[in-house]
Amino acid sequence: MKTGRAVLRDGRTAWGLALLGGMALVAILAPVLAPFNPIAQHDILATRFLAPFTRDPSGAMHWLGTDNLGRDLLSRLLYGARISLSVGLLAAGLAAAIGTVIGAVAALAGGAVERALMALTDGLLALPRLVLLLAMVAFLTPSFGLIVVIIGATGWMSIARLARAEVHGLLARPFVDAARVAGATPVRLLFRHLLPNALTPILVAAALGVANAIGLEAGLAFLGMGVPAPAPSWGNMIATGRDALVQAPWLATIPGLAIVLAVIACNLVADGVREA
Amino acid sequence: MARRVVLRLLTGLALVLAVVTATFLLINLAPGDPARLWVGPGAGAAELAAARHALGLDRPLLVRYLAWLGHFVTGDWGTSLVLGRPVRQVLLDALPYTLLLSAASLAVTYVGGIIVGIAQAVKRGTAADTLLTVATLAVYGMPSYWLGLVLVLVFAYVAARHGWPAWLQLPALGASGIDAAFLSPWGKLVDRVRHLALPLATLGAIGIAGTARFVRGAAVDVERQDYVRTARAKGLAPHVIELRHVLRNALLPVITLLGLSLPALFSGTVFVETIFAWPGMGRTLVSAVSARDYPVVLAATAVYAVLVVLGNLLADVLYAVADPRLRREGA
């Protein structure tokens, strides 16, 4: 188990956490920071497709320009961070929780239970996640909660495999026998002795899970199957920009850069924690 | 080995069955009525009942499932609600395009990724290695649907506006030009390759970045092994060490990665086919999902599951070929 300080001393983790923290702060402060209402449409014909760093007829500055309905891109980007980051964190958290429980239960139970749980894990892991997500949104109505649940429910498998391997490794250690002899119940054993010691690899996988979840949420939104409009999400902003790719290339490219930045931040954290 | 392959096939079959069953249940238990969608909002109760009967929706779930499964395994995948064509024909038309795109991007990904990753491991710690580490991380972080749009912007629009050489002005949509039917065989090939270029570049760039990150890690691990130190100590030439000792051992986990990366590859093709209007399975699936064309969604999901199972089987066989220890165990 690495100490928090050793992890932070690794430059990558510090950078990654600073990036993520900055983005989270911006998302939380969006109502204060955003210069405009992200979904309000005023004089569409006069204010749409303004290039970055231009002023609209009322003299207000649009730092990143405006979209096809005259909505301020910067404001939408800031509000979009709320959906993208919260779906990413919640879905990855859900996946980590499911995966840890399934992996740990499999390792502790052993026998047929373990074989069944791992067959389920390997089976789901072998399927294209996007195809699973599409099959689900095809017949359910997308909402914030549904997107979190389905991304979380299709992302726990690699964590379950990790958790199982870690718990198996720990079960062979003397301190586990000692805890057993001292009368620890399986639940206490799991939460007090096994999981705290298996935390590092699970955290690494969870950080990568956040990156995947952000990408998938944006992808579903891009395909028009994400959190419903007019709520801004980085994915549906790219989809909007796609229809005006030549006329207003900043509309599709800038939200994509935000996704790239978030994914890089998660990978930096994961790399740093793994090698610290 | 043969036993292993048979076992794999059987588990694969179980997986495909589980997938189609789960999708079937999802479709049938989800709110929303396909019959209502089929007849349209203006239809009366009698028409709706007739549609429900025609679609078989008035029978119990288990009966429908068994009947549907019977048809499904015998290759009768129903009729597309939107296109009015047999689902099997729709998917068989799309399959070769997805296979072409996937196979080409797998080849590009692995050749490019192994070269970059090994080069980085050999030069590790240098400025070039650091630069490539940053570059691969950045590209790996790019969503495929976004990188695709950026490439379209550059190679379809900017290239045309600034009069770049003709071979750099690439088509952004479809798998062949509007005049493809009139081209010579050679012209057809050139046309197809030009249409493949941007989708392939999108998947290839992201794939190379991901594979290079993995290969670099694996190769650096191998470099730390005792047998590499021994090889160095006995004075072998550096390129012999890299090729015979490092590369060969570093490639073993890469073959495992091949099997593991197939699901992600197919997820990537879904986006890329949608961006570039590439007439493959992914685009078919996305439009079927938008239109709630459930026979197509069901069958497409199943075909993807079959592709992944076969791909994993191939990776298994490759692994046994590359690692003599597996063959000797006779497993």
CATH number for A24: 1.10.3720.10
Residue A244 belongs to a domain: yes
Position B245 scores a pLDDT of 84
Residue B255 to residue B260: CA distance in whole angstroms: 9
Position A1 scores a pLDDT of 44
At residue B1 the predicted structure's pLDDT band, cuts being 50, 70 and 90, is low
Unique residue bearing structure tokens 């499911």: A98
Average pLDDT over residues A1-10: 60
Q: Nearest chain B Cα to A275, which residue?
A: B217
CB contact under 8 A, A139 and B27: yes
Average pLDDT over residues A26-53: 79
Q: Nearest chain B Cα to A124, which residue?
A: B15
Is residue B86 helix, strand or coil?
A: strand
Position B31 scores a pLDDT of 66
Residue A48 belongs to a domain: no
Query: CA of B188: how far to CAs of A154, B177, B181, B184, in Å?
Result: 41, 9, 8, 6
CB-CB neighbours of A51 under 10 Å: 12
Indicate whether A36 pLDDT > 50: yes
Average pLDDT over residues A262-267: 90
Report pTM.
Answer: 0.85
Is residue B291 helix, strand or coil?
A: coil
Residues of B in contact with A129 (CB under 8 A): 263-264, 267
- Name which of A209, A211, A79, A71 is nearest A152 in CA terms: A209
Per DSSP, the residues of A14-40 read HHHHHHHHHHHHHHHTHHHH-SS-SS-
CB contact under 8 A, B26 and A139: yes
User: Does the ipTM surpass 0.90?
Assistant: no
Residue A197 belongs to a domain: yes
At residue B331 the predicted structure's pLDDT band, cuts being 50, 70 and 90, is very low
Residue A54 belongs to a domain: no
Residue A2 to residue B3: CA distance in whole angstroms: 43
Average pLDDT over residues B13-40: 78
Position B327 scores a pLDDT of 65
Position A112 scores a pLDDT of 92
Radius of gyration in angstroms for the set of CA atoms belonging to chain B, rounded to a whole number = 24
The answer to whether B147 and B134 are in contact (CB under 8 A) is no
At residue A139 the predicted structure's pLDDT band, cuts being 50, 70 and 90, is confident
Closest CB to B266: pick one of A131, A222, A267: A131
Which residues does B182 contact at the CB level (< 8 Å), separation at least 6? Answer: none
Alpha-carbon gap: B73 to the closest alpha carbon of chain A (Å):
20
Closest CB to A131: pick one of B14, B142, B270: B270
Six-digit token string for A152: 């979380």
B29: left (phi over 0), alpha (psi -120 to 50) or beta: alpha
Average pLDDT over residues A59-84: 83
Which residues does A162 contact at the CB level (< 8 Å), separation at least 6? Answer: A99, A103, A198, A201, A202, A205
Backbone CA torsion sign across B203, B205, B210, B215:
positive
Amino acid code (one letter) for B54: A
At residue B63 the predicted structure's pLDDT band, cuts being 50, 70 and 90, is confident
List, for residues A105-138, the tens digit of each pLDDT value.
Answer: 999 888 899 989 988 888 888 788 888 888 888 7
Question: Helix B185-223 vs helix B248-275: angle between axes, to the nearest 10 degrees?
Answer: 140
Strand residue runs (E) in chain B: none
CB contact under 8 A, B267 and A252: no
Indicate whether A3 pLDDT > 60: no
Average pLDDT over residues A190-205: 85
Position B257 scores a pLDDT of 79
Six-digit token string for A81: 């961070």
For chain B, the distance separating the N- and C-terminal CA atoms, rounded to the nearest angstrom, is 5
Residue A250 to residue A132: CA distance in whole angstroms: 31
Position B212 scores a pLDDT of 93
Position B102 scores a pLDDT of 93
Q: Which helix (H) or strand (E) holds A54?
A: strand A54-55
Lowest mean pLDDT among A163-172, A186-195, B25-34, B94-103: B25-34
Residue B140 sits at the chain A interface (C-beta within 8 Å) = yes
For residues A152 and A63, which has the higher predicted lDDT (pLDDT)?
Answer: A152
* Helix spans in A110-248 (H): 111-125, 129-137, 144-153, 157-171, 174-181, 186-188, 195-197, 199-222, 234-242
List, for residues B270-322, the tens digit of each pLDDT value.
Answer: 999 999 999 999 999 999 988 888 889 889 988 888 888 888 888 778 777 77
Residue A252 belongs to a domain: yes
List, for residues A200-259, the tens digit of each pLDDT value.
Answer: 888 888 988 999 999 999 999 888 888 877 788 898 889 888 888 888 888 889 999 999
Average model confidence (pLDDT) across chain B: 85
Residues of B in contact with A77 (CB under 8 A): none
Residue A192 sits at the chain B interface (C-beta within 8 Å) = no
β partners of residue A61: A55
Is residue B124 helix, strand or coil?
A: coil
The distance from CA B273 to its chain's CA centroid, rounded to whole angstroms, is 10
CB contact under 8 A, A123 and B157: no
Residue A53 belongs to a domain: no
Alpha-carbon gap: B236 to the closest alpha carbon of chain A (Å):
30
Burial class (CB in 10 A: 0-12, 13-18, 19+), B47: middle
β partners of residue B79: B86
For residues B51 and B90, which has the higher predicted lDDT (pLDDT)?
Answer: B90
Lowest mean pLDDT among A7-11, A13-17, A177-181, B20-24: A7-11
Give me the phi and psi of B242, to 5 degrees please: -60, -45
- Chain A to chain B, count of Cβ pairs less than 8 Å apart? 136
Average model confidence (pLDDT) across chain A: 85
The answer to whether B309 and B15 are in contact (CB under 8 A) is yes
Domain ranges, residue A20: 2-38+62-275
At residue B330 the predicted structure's pLDDT band, cuts being 50, 70 and 90, is very low
The answer to whether A160 and A103 are in contact (CB under 8 A) is yes
Q: What percent of chain A has pLDDT over 70?
A: 96
The answer to whether B99 and B176 are in contact (CB under 8 A) is no
Position A25 scores a pLDDT of 92
Q: Which helix (H) or strand (E) holds B110?
A: helix B87-122
Residue A230: cis peptide before it, omega within 30 degrees of 0: yes
At residue B71 the predicted structure's pLDDT band, cuts being 50, 70 and 90, is confident
Q: How many domains does chain A have?
A: 1
